[in-house]
Amino acid sequence: MKAKYVIGGLIIVIFVIWGVTSFMSTTIRYVSIDEVQRSTGTVQVMGKVDFDRVVYDSEHSRLVFEITGLEKRTLNQRLKVIYSGVVPGNFDQATSVVAKGRYQEGAFMADQLLVKCPSKYQGLAEQAKKGEA
């Protein structure tokens, strides 16, 4: 009976170790905009879109734009993002975006784009409140 517990325990331990190492190896780190150029592999970066420099490259179906950092030290730093994929419908309203991808030859090649939007309803409600004030 003891042996059975030992074997069972061992299997579970091995599985958990394997699971945790898998998690570690696929972790996609958040980096700030100034760390991107030093990063290797897939990372994610958050920034504010410069809407004056958004170009849709319809030939390659990709979106080319620049983001600026969100921290004080990165506010004036720019990063060119090339996103190939379906443009999220609410991209135009993005207060900031999270791009997942890798840094390659001067640009961030993103394959996933997460758009952060202001909550419109709350905005509306606040406007209504302001209207009264």
Q: Which is nearer to another protein, 1 or 52 (CB)?
A: 1
Q: What is the DSSP letter of 65?
A: E
Instruction: Report the first-to-last Cα separation within the chain, whole angstroms.
Output: 76
- Distance between CA atoms of residues 128 and 103, nearest Å: 44
Length of the chain measured in residues: 133
Amino acid at 65: F
Asked if 90 touches another protein (CB under 8 A), the answer is yes
Q: Rounded to the nearest whole angstrom, what is the least distance from the CB of residue 105 to another protein in the complex? A: 23
Residue given tokens 């990165």 in the structure block? 74
- Kindly give, in sequence order, each residue whose CB lies less than 8 Å from that of residue 80, ignoring residues fewer than 6 positions away: 64, 65, 66, 106, 107, 108
Q: CB 90 → another protein: shortest distance, Å? A: 4
Looking only at residues 43 through 82 of this chain, which bind another protein when binding is defined by CB under 8 A? 44, 46, 58, 61
With binding defined as CB under 8 A, does residue 106 bind another protein?
no
4-43 footprint of another protein as x/- string (CB under 8 A): x-------x--x---xx-xx--xxxxxx----------x-
For residue 48, give the H/E element and its range. Answer: strand 43-49
Q: Based on the shown chain and the rule CB under 8 A, indicate whether residue 88 belongs to the binding site for another protein.
A: yes
Question: Residues 76, 64: contact at Cβ < 8 Å?
Answer: no
With respect to another protein, which residue has the nearer C-beta, 40 or 128?
128
Q: Is 98 in the site for another protein (CB under 8 A)?
A: yes
Binding site for another protein (CB under 8 A): 1, 4, 12, 15, 19-20, 22-23, 26-31, 42, 44, 46, 58, 61, 86-90, 92-93, 98, 114, 116-117, 119-122, 124-125, 128-129, 131-133
